[in-house]
Structure 1
Amino acid sequence: MNTRTMMHLGTLTFSLLAGSVMAAVGPEEAATLGTTLTPLGGEKAGNADGSIPAWTGGLKSNAAPVQNDFIGNPFDGEKPQFIITAATAEQYKDKLTAGQLAMFKRYPDSYRMPVYKSQRTASAPQSVYDAAKSSALNTVAVNNGYGLKDFEKSHYYAFPIPKNGLEVVWNHLTRYRGTSFIQHLAQATPQVNGSYTIVNIEQSAGFPWQMKDANPEKSANILFYAKQTVTAPARMAGNVLLVHETIDQVKDPRMAWAYNAGQRRVRRAPQVAYDGPGTAADGLRVADQNDMYNGAPDRYDWKLIGKKEVYIPYNNYQLFSPQLKYADIIKPGHLNQDLTRYELHRVWEVEATVRPNERNIYAKRRMYFDEDTWAAVEIDHYDSRGQLWRVGEGFLINDYVQGTANYAAITVYDLIAGRYIVSNLQNENKRGQDYSYRPTMTDFTPAALRNAGIR
C-alpha cells in the first residue's frame, strides 16, 4: 500500500470519526447493566472498606409516608457520623472538591458539612432500566458528539456505559425526569447581609414521546418542552419563558421565547443559552447553569478525569421538608448547612475547557456526576484567569415514588462577591410536584404565552 493511499484512508477515517464520536457498545458489554453494573451504569459493588455500600435496588416506592405529594424522609431522626468544619477540612481533602475546600476558607466560622452514613437510594421504573440498555446498544454520538443518533428508541441515559467526558454529560442531560409535570419553585439571591426577596416560578415540562398530539417528525430533535411563569413578586409577575429544548443544539439551536407582561409582547429569546443571563438571577447564574448544567456542549472540550470518592449532597429529604420555611434555609453567605446531608459516593469527574476561538464567562468547569443517577452534584467554575470563581451544588433527593433524581435545592456560590443564588426550593408550597399534568403541543407554543402571562 503506497503512502498516498494510506493518507487517503487516514483522511477518510478521520472524517468518519468527526461525524460519529463513539459507536454504541456491543451486546456483551451492555449485558453488564444489571449484573456487575446497576441498570443505569453505576458500579454495583461497594468500595473496599465498606463506607460506600453495594447497590441493592434503591428505595422502594413506600419508603416513607407521602403527604400532599411531598415525599417523606426515609432517614428521619438519623444523626451525622461526623461534621467537617474549616478546622478539620484538611484531613478530608482527598474526598472534597476544590470548591468545597474554598467554601471552608471563605466561611470558616459558619460553613460545615454534616456527613451521614452512605445510602444508595437511587431507583427507577423497569421501563427506564430497559431504555438505558436500549441506549447502550443503539445510541450513537454524531456531529462531533453534539448530537445523538437512534436515541429516539430509548429517550433516556444516552450512554450508560460512557467512554468519554461528553458522554457522561449526556447522561445528565438525558436522565429520566418522570412523566410531564408542573412544579412551583422558589429562588432567592441573598445580599451579603442575608436579606432576600423570594421569586416564585411555576414551571411546566412536557416530553414529546409522552404527548398524544406530538408530530414525531417535528419533535424528533426535541428533548423536552418547558415553560416558566413568574408568579411573584408583583413587579415581575406575569413574565413567561418558553423553551423548546433540542437534542443537537448545534444543528438546531434551542428555541426560546419570552413574554414581557409590562409590554404584553412575545419575542424570541436567543440569549437564553450558554452564558446568557439566568432568570431573575441578579447576575449570579447564567442560562446554562439551570439544573446545574444544561444546553449545548459545543463551546467546551470535555475531558474525562475518571471516577473518585467524594462527599456529595445526597438524600437531602430534611432540606426538602414542607415543615421548613425559606427563612430557616436561606442564611448569609450560604444555606443553613445544619439542614443539609452529605454522603460518600463515587462520582464521575469531568473537566470542561473552553475551546479555542469560543467564549464563555467560565473558562473551565470541573464537574462531578453521581454514578447512580447521573445527576450533577458539584461543579467548580473558573474564570479566564484560572481563578476559582463560583461553586455549584445540587442537593439530591431520590423520589422513590416516581423513580427520579431531583434537587431539594441548587446553589451557586460566588466566592468573590460573597453572595449566592438558591433555586428549586419547594418547602412552602401547599403541594409537591404534580405528575398528573397531561399537556398538549398547543401548551408549548408562542401563542400560548400571552394567556399564561396574564396578571
Structure 2
Amino acid sequence: MNVNKRTIAAVAMLGCLMVSASAVAKITEQEAARLGTDLTPMGAERAGNADGSIPAWDGGIKTVLPGVVPGVSRPDPYAADKPLFKITAANMAQYRAKLTDGQAAMLARYKETFFMNVYPTHRSAALPETIYQHIRAQSTKTELADGGYGLSDLGLSTVPFPIPKTGQEAIWNHLVRYRGQAFERRVIQAVVQRNGSFDPMIYRDMMTFRSGVPETPENADIVLKDVQKILEPQRLAGTTLLAIDRINPVRAPRQAWIYNAGTRRVLRAPEIGYDNPGIAADGARTNDNFDMYNGAIDRYDWKLVGKREMYIPYNANRLDDRLLKYADILKPGHLNPELTRYELHRVWVVEATLKPASRHIYAKRVYYMDEDTWSIVAGDHFDGRGELWRVSEGHLIQYTDATVPLYCVEVLYDLLGDRYIAFGMNNEEPYEINFDWRADDDFYTPSNLRRFAN
C-alpha cells in the first residue's frame, strides 16, 4: 500500500483529536457533590482566602436593591466604600504578583495618569436558582466534542464544566455563561484617539440566549442569537447585523448576515468572526474581541494555567452612573481611573497559543476568568513577535433586577497604536438594559432583517 506523508499526518492528527477528546472524562458524581457545598453552584471556592481579603461567598446579591428601577436607575450598592489603596507606576512592584501583564504595562505606559483604586472585595455575583439546578444536573453529562471545539449534551446548563480540567473546558464556560434569557440595550462604541477625541457610534443590541429560545429541533444547538443595528452616525444608520452561534461551531459555523443601508440589500457575512475587523470599529478590535472573547476556539491551543488571586475590575456601578457623560469616562489613553473599581478575586488563568497552521493577528492570548461568574475580566493579546499589543478589561456589574452578572463597559487598549475602544456604555442613552425584552424566533431571520433595519 502506498501511503503518502500527508495521509499519515492526517491520520495522526485525527488520532490526537480522538485521544484528547476521550482523555478528558466527565466529572464524577463525587466531584459534582461538591457543587453547593465546599464549592459554589458555579464551581468557585465557597471559602474566603487565608487572610480574609477575599470573603466567603454567601450567595451574592439575589434581591432587587433599594432604588433600582429597571431601565431607569441602578444605584451603586457599595457607594460608601473607600479605596483600600492605590496602585501606581511608582508602587506597582509591591503588588506585581497580583497584576496582569497588561495592567503592569498600562501603569508603566501611562504613569502620570493611570492608576488602580483597589476597594474591599464583594462577591456579589448570583444567578437564579433554576440556573444552578441546570448546572448541577448537567455537570456529570456534558462533554467536549469535535476535538474539544464543540459540546455534547449541554442541556440548559450555562457552566458545562464547573470543575474544569482543561483550557478548552474553561473557555467554554465563558462562551455559554449565563447572561439572562434575553436582553435589549442601546449602547455606544467609541474609538478614543490619543488626544482623547471620540465620535460615539450608537447601537441597538438585542440578544437571545440558549435558555430563552423556543424549544424546537432547529434551536437544539443554539448558544445565542444577536441583532445589532447602528442608529448613529447618520452615514451608517440602519446598517444591521444578524449572527447565530451554535454549540458545535466547527461542524456548524457561525451564521451571519448584514443589511447594508446604502445598498438596501441583505448579504451573507461569513467574515463576521475570528480576527476580521469589527464593524465600524476603525480596526481597533477584531470580531472575536467582542464580549472579551466570542466565537469558535479552533485556531488556538488552550492551556489551563491554574487559579490566582488578582486585582480585577468588579462591581463597576460607578461607571454605569447615568449622571455621567461619556466625556467624563473616556479620557486620553484610558478610562477615567477615578471611576473604575478593582477588587481582589480569584480567577482562572487560560493561555491560548495560535496553532502553527492557523492564522490570526494575535499569536497568543492570556485570559483571566472570574471564578464566580466565568466571565473573562481581563485579557492580554500578543502579536506575532511576542510583544504585548492589546489589553482588555471587562467591568462587571451584578444586575440585581435580573440576577445577572454582566459587563457595563468592555475596553480594549492598543499599546502600540496609543488608542483604545470602549463598548457597552449607555450613560447618556434614553434607557438602560432591558432583561425582560423578548422576541419571537422569526425575529432572528434574514427575511426579517430588512424590515427591522428600516
Give 1:366's aligned residue.
366
Distance in structure 2 (CA, Å) of the matches to 1:201 and 1:27: 45
Call closer, same or farther: CA 1:94–1:264 in 2, change over 3 Å.
Answer: same
Query: What displacement does 1:401 show?
Result: 2.4
Query: What displacement does 1:161 show?
Result: 1.0
Counterpart amino acid of residue 33 in structure 2: A
Q: Which region of structure 1 is more displaced relative to structure 2, 28-37 or 72-81?
A: 72-81
Structure 1 SS opposite 2:106: helix
Call closer, same or farther: CA 1:238–1:25 in 2, change over 3 Å.
Answer: same
Distance in structure 1 (CA, Å) of the matches to 2:326 and 2:56: 35
Query: What displacement does 1:17 show?
Result: 2.9
Q: Which region of structure 1 is more displaced relative to structure 2, 379-388 or 272-281?
A: 272-281
Query: What displacement does 1:400 show?
Result: 2.1
Query: What displacement does 1:388 show?
Result: 0.3
Distance in structure 1 (CA, Å) of the matches to 2:287 and 2:244: 14
2:103 pairs with 1:100: yes
Give 2:43's aligned residue.
41
Give 1:334's aligned residue.
334
Counterpart amino acid of residue 99 in structure 1: G
Call closer, same or farther: CA 1:440–1:12 in 2, change over 3 Å.
Answer: closer
Structure 1 SS opposite 2:335: coil
Give 2:112's aligned residue.
109
Taking only aligned residues, the RMSD between alpha carbons, in angstroms, comes to 1.7
Mapping 1:369-388, distance limit 5 Å:
369-388=369-388
Distance in structure 1 (CA, Å) of the matches to 2:271 and 2:24: 31
Contact 2:84–2:120 (8 Å) recurs in 1? yes
What runs of 5+ residues in structure 1 fail to find an aligned partner?
1-9
Give 2:416's aligned residue.
416
Cα deviation per residue 1:280-307 (whole Å; 9 max; x = unaligned)? 2111100000000000000000011100
Call closer, same or farther: CA 1:338–1:243 in 2, change over 3 Å.
Answer: same
Distance in structure 2 (CA, Å) of the matches to 1:136 and 1:256: 31
Give the total of aligned pairs: 442
Structure 1 SS opposite 2:225: strand
Aligned-residue sequence identity (percent) comes to 47
Contact 1:64–1:71 (8 Å) recurs in 2? no
Give 1:282's aligned residue.
282
Distance in structure 1 (CA, Å) of the matches to 2:224 and 2:76: 30
TM-score (norm 2): 0.94
Counterpart amino acid of residue 262 in structure 1: G
Structure 1 SS opposite 2:30: helix
Query: What displacement does 1:321 show?
Result: 1.2
Call closer, same or farther: CA 1:21–1:433 in 2, change over 3 Å.
Answer: farther
Query: What displacement does 1:448 show?
Result: 1.0
Distance in structure 2 (CA, Å) of the matches to 1:270 and 1:155: 28
Give 1:122's aligned residue.
125
Give 2:84's aligned residue.
81
Query: What displacement does 1:11 show?
Result: 12
What runs of 5+ residues in structure 2 fail to find an aligned partner?
1-11
Cα deviation per residue 1:57-77 (whole Å; 9 max; x = unaligned)? 111313342134232210113
Give 2:57's aligned residue.
55
TM-score (norm 1): 0.94
Give 2:403's aligned residue.
403
Structure 1 SS opposite 2:147: coil
Call closer, same or farther: CA 1:19–1:54 in 2, change over 3 Å.
Answer: closer
Distance in structure 2 (CA, Å) of the matches to 1:81 and 1:234: 45
Give 2:207's aligned residue.
205
Give 1:311's aligned residue.
311
Cα deviation per residue 1:105-160 (whole Å; 9 max; x = unaligned)? 11010001010001110111110111111231111111111111111x22311111
Contact 2:62–2:403 (8 Å) recurs in 1? no
Query: What displacement does 1:14 show?
Result: 5.9
Contact 1:21–1:141 (8 Å) recurs in 2? no
Cα deviation per residue 1:158-189 (whole Å; 9 max; x = unaligned)? 11111111111111111111122211111100
